[in-house]
Amino acid sequence: MAALLRQARPVLGRFSWVPIRGFAACVGTDIVKEVPDASLQKARTWDEGVSSQFSTTPLSELFGGKKVVIFGLPGAFTGVCSAQHVPSYLKNAQKFKEKGVDSIICVAVNDPYVMNGWAEKLQAKEAIEFYGDFDGRFHKSLQLDLDLSAALLGPRSQRWSAFVDDGKIKVLNVEKVPSEFKVSGGETILGQI
């Protein structure tokens, strides 16, 4: 996949994120105010979705008055996401708690049912909260979206991590290429809190 994404780079143009999009400007942003209409969908089974009338979780509930480590990735059940990204947070979950982090959130442009199945497969639901961003609105609003159509994935999330304190982004790390895993892992952000 990495080779395919590198080949797709000139076609998509958006793979040169950092210089074009200026993510440093996001640090200090109040994520709740920046994306007031966005909400995320907690990972759950289809039956749980039906019984909750397909409820969503407002960002104010996720971030208001809390210290949150959140990380986004291109998609559930994909290589780097399953083998490296999520495990880096899972193995550091206790260390995040010791630093006063209230919750660890994983989000991807997937539906909440896929996110639930993936979280169960990874045996990570106890330590990490999984959310879907089914329409990508959350990622688009923060300019953390990208087009991975060249890899047959369509609109997705970039690979990133952030530390959010009471809704304000204190630290933001974005990978230059979604197949890379250099700056968005659990160990990196743990050292930045």
CB 158 within 8 A of CB 178: yes
Token reading at 93: 């979950």
Q: What is the DSSP letter of 179?
A: T
Q: Which H or E run includes 69? A: strand 67-73
State the residue for tokens 């990622």.
139
Q: How many angstroms separate the CA atoms of 62 and 138, rounded? A: 13
The catalytically annotated residue of 81, 115, 164, 174 is: 81
Catalytic site includes residue 26? no
The residues assigned a catalytic role are 81
